[in-house]
Amino acid sequence: MPARLKSGDTVVVISGADKSDSPRQVLEVLGDRVIVEGVNLRWRHEKPSQASPKGGRTRREFPIHASNVLLYSSKEKKGVRTRVEVRDGKRVRVGKCGTVFE
C-alpha cells in the first residue's frame, strides 16, 4: 500500500474516542499507524532516572491506525479520501475533490 500519510500532514480523525471535525497534525508515521497531535492521550509512568530525576506520570500521544484518519482539504474544509497519481513523472497524492497534496 502506498504511503498516503506523511509527518506534518493535516488530518481529521474519523472514528474512535477522539473523533472530531477539527484538523490536527500528524507527528509521526509508524507503518500502518500514525501519531496524531492531541489524539489517544494516555498516562506514561516513568521511573526516576538521570534523564528525569523526579519520574512521575506524563500525558503522551499513542499511535492510532491510519484507516481512522483522512487528509484535511482546506478547499473542502473537511477530510477527503486520497489516491496516488503520477503527474509529470512524480507521484502525488490527489484528493477526491481534486486537491493535490504535496
DSSP string of 30-71, one letter each residue:
ETTEEEETTSSEEEEEE---SSSSS-EEEEEE--EEGGGEEE
Task: Report the distance separating Cα 65 and Cα 45, nearest Å.
Answer: 23
Tens-binned pLDDT, residue by residue, of the chain (102 aa): 456 899 999 999 999 999 999 999 999 999 999 999 999 999 999 999 999 899 999 999 999 999 999 999 999 999 999 999 999 999 999 998 888 997
Model pTM greater than 0.75?
yes
Domains parsed from the chain with CATH numbers: 10-47+56-101 (2.30.30.30)
Question: Radius of gyration of the chain from Cα atoms?
Answer: 17
Task: Report the distance separating Cα 81 and Cα 72, nearest Å.
Answer: 9
List helix spans (H) across the chain: none
Residue 41 grid coordinates = 492521550
